[in-house]
Amino acid sequence: MSQISGKSVIITGASSGIGEATAKMLAEQGAKLMLAARREDKLDKLVAEIEAAGGTAAYQIVDVTKQSQVQALADETLKQYGKIDVMINNAGIMPLSRLDQLLVEEWERTIDINIKGVLYGIAAVLPAMQKANSGHIINISSVAGHAVFPGGAVYCGTKYAVRAISEGLRKEIGKDIRCTIISPGAVATELTNHITDETASKGANQLYEIAIGADAVARAIAYAIEQPKEVDINEILLRPTAQEL
């Protein structure tokens, strides 16, 4: 039996891309899923697919920039499944642009989702995990949390922040709760759709011609979860073989 079987798992940003692929993979291995995103139609379809295949899943409509909604997500998970074994803070956006374009509203949105969303996710589940003396928090960063590139100053800043938060969390939460950060390179998702700057969009689309499937990241996440409790996979960095950045 898989080490994942029976685990209660929350996934934010679950309506597409890495979140969707991870949901399907973990459901196949017997996880009980609580899926969160803003697009109810996609969540409803995904839950139906999982249940039709014999899996267990439910969903909540959640904007991760709203702390009350993220807390309600955790509360509903506890209500339905009685525990929270894994929190996957996956929701994120990547509206690239040079700083001199002064797209300040996009900067604020990126910070709110990519940083505050992760912090709200941690805050929502940590008390229950500490009470249970068990749990696993997985934060999705990026290769952009390891290297800065023109047009990515704000996005890279948020992903560096996710790495710092994850390492701080690991050092603070003690021996019973695990913390993993997953840093993917170019992955075929909707991430590039958020880029409004034409020059940045063109460059990103060229890079993403070599993008790997979201299932590659889902396998990395599953690998971290399925380890014995005494094994803490702290960081996984994965890229397309052809990617230099």
For the chain, the structural domain boundaries read 8-238
Rounded distance between C-alpha atoms, residue 192 and residue 198, angstroms: 11
pLDDT at 21: 97
pLDDT of 1 above 70: no
Query: Which pTM was predicted?
Result: 0.95
DSSP string, 151-212: T-HHHHHHHHHHHHHHHHHHHHS-SSEEEEEEEE-SBSSSGGGG---HHHHHHHHHHGGGPB
Superfamily of segment(s) 8-238: NAD(P)-binding Rossmann-like Domain (3.40.50.720)
At residue 46, the pLDDT reads 97
pLDDT tens across 170-183, in order? 999 978 999 999 99
Q: pLDDT digit string (tens) for 120-147?
A: 999 999 999 999 999 999 999 999 999 9
Confidence of residue 19 (pLDDT cuts 50, 70, 90): very high
pLDDT tens digits, one per residue of 194-231 = 778 778 778 777 777 888 999 999 999 999 999 999 99
Residue 62 has pLDDT above 90, yes or no: yes
Identify the pLDDT of residue 192: 74
Mean pLDDT score of the chain: 94
Catalytic annotation present for 160? no
* C-beta of residue 224 within 8 angstroms of C-beta of residue 180: yes
How confident is the model at residue 164, as a pLDDT?
A: 97
Return the higher-pLDDT residue of 175 and 27.
27
CB 143 within 8 Å of CB 245: yes
**Which listed residue (59, 81, 155, 208) is catalytic?**
155
Q: Where are the alpha helices (DSSP H) in the chain?
A: 17-28, 40-52, 67-81, 104-111, 117-132, 153-172, 198-207, 214-225
